[in-house]
Amino acid sequence: MSEEPENEPIDLSALPEVSPPPGFADRVMTRVREEPRRLRGRRWPLVVAGGLAAAAAVTAIRIASDGAPSSGEAIATDRVELSIGRRARAVLEPGATLSFEGDDVVQERGDVFYRVEPGATFRVHTPAGVVEVRGTCFTVKVMQKRDVKAGTVGAALSALAFVAVYEGKVAVSHAKESAVIGAGESAKLGDGHVERTGTPAEGEKAFAASAAEGDEPLAKANENLASQVSEYRKRLEIVAAERAKLEASLSKAEAQLASGKDGAPARTRSDFDLDPSDWAELAKRGEVKFRVPCLRKEGWLPSQAQIDKLALAPHDAPVLEDAYKRSYQRVWSQIRPLCQAALGSSAEVVDKIGPDSCAHLVYNLASNTDGEAAAEAHTQAAEIRAGLRPEPGPNEKVHPVTKMFLALTGAMPAFEADLAKSLGPEEAHRLAYADGLCKADDRWGGGKKREAAKP
């Protein structure tokens, strides 16, 4: 078998010069500007070069001593026109990138229209081949596509280039193949060879078809991936449903464990946010417990850190301060006379002792005088809060221990009702039992137990 001779490089200087009609390039560009819609409908590559409006691009240009750009690079983010050397103009469509040094251009990707004045050889280097001219108007499109010959979805990209000539002649070459195409012709470079593709319009279709090769296997692979994604989602939904069931069971078990009451619901309220059933349990054990707002005559103004902890607005702080002052006056007006009667001392002495110490003195002195009566009064206070006994009337004779406990156990509900006037009932309740509140928690045992004696 005889070996075919290799294609020799084309010598553009040996080609006969074909001069275009005077002003041809300018007439082409003028027509593109005037009839953009009609030309765009035909999808000629020339159309993408029309309308040389100012555009955004990232460019770096070096200017020669004669004022012409000697080198540079451009990345077009919109349509942009720039000069290349002293005799060429290029129109870059969005996404096109190129760099140049003198009459040598490297076009990595995108769609670029070139107009080159006659002179020495002007070259456009693309990943798919080289375009050489000595004076012409032409378009070069460079596109990356997946190399389907590699047989995998993740195969490397290969390059295709499309060249359409509108004026003069162009030499195109790829590897060992080359061809000369004239005005009204086009060619495709890449996939290992150079191929003539007829008119620019025909070449455009051939180029698009070549670029689309591999779409079918890629689409099939995407279809398989989509099926896998759907299956994985179904599995995740099943797992999520099972997880939700397990979390619900876990929460229920943890609540039962926390309650310690054989499956009774766990307590979600503060230990000092008591309802009648809580008070009934306390009465059985002869206990009283309560939370009291800080008993300060001057009130309590929270700091900025405390305001943040309580999740309050700055203008809520004075509301709290005033509520504390009123709470002190309310509680002390009930404890003070009990303390004075128990001690038999003057009001000045009692004022120096203060409400907290006075409460302990009232209880201790009553227990020393009649321990049985004091214990009964102790438990009766819890039973009143449980609703098992009626509230005493204003003129009814009540043991001082019961009066004292009613004053202390009623302090926080009264404080909460006071706050509710300004902040609303929900916010007032939240603050009354918030951890950041200034308060005192107290628990008193020693009352009369109501539980029946065990055999």
Q: Which CATH number belongs to the domain containing residue 178 in this structure?
A: 2.60.120.1440
- Residues 317, 421, single domain; the answer is yes
Residue 252 lies in a domain: no
Q: Are 206 and 221 in contact (CB under 8 A)?
A: no
Which residue range is the domain that position 285 belongs to?
276-444
Residue 425 lies in a domain: yes
The last residue of one of the domains, among 196, 213, 230, is 213
- Residues 208, 283, single domain; the answer is no
State if pTM tops 0.95: no
- Residues 58, 154, single domain; the answer is yes
Measured CA to CA, the distance from residue 440 to residue 452 in angstroms comes to 33
Count CB atoms within 10 A of the CB of residue 253. Answer: 11
- Residues 183, 299, single domain; the answer is no
Indicate if the pLDDT at residue 164 is higher than 80: yes
398-434 confidence digits (pLDDT tens): 999 999 999 999 999 999 999 999 999 999 999 999 9
Residue 22 lies in a domain: yes
The last residue of one of the domains, among 187, 213, 239, is 213
Residue 346 lies in a domain: yes
Residue 195 lies in a domain: yes
Q: How confident is the model at residue 259 (pLDDT cuts 50, 70, 90)?
A: low
Cα dist from 109 to 67, 90, 311, 448, whole Å: 28, 14, 58, 95
Count up the domains in the chain and report the number.
2
Residue 335 lies in a domain: yes
Structure-token pair, residue 43: 């999808």
The CB-based long-range contact list for 158-161 (8 Å cut-off, 24+ gap) reads 158/190, 158/191, 159/126, 159/127, 159/128, 159/190, 160/128, 160/188, 160/189, 160/190, 160/191, 160/207, 160/210, 160/211, 161/126, 161/127, 161/128, 161/129, 161/131, 161/188, 161/189, 161/190
- Residues 81, 177, single domain; the answer is yes
29-46 confidence digits (pLDDT tens): 554 444 433 333 333 333
The last residue of one of the domains, among 213, 230, 247, is 213
Structure-token pair, residue 340: 């004075």
Structure-token pair, residue 289: 């417990």
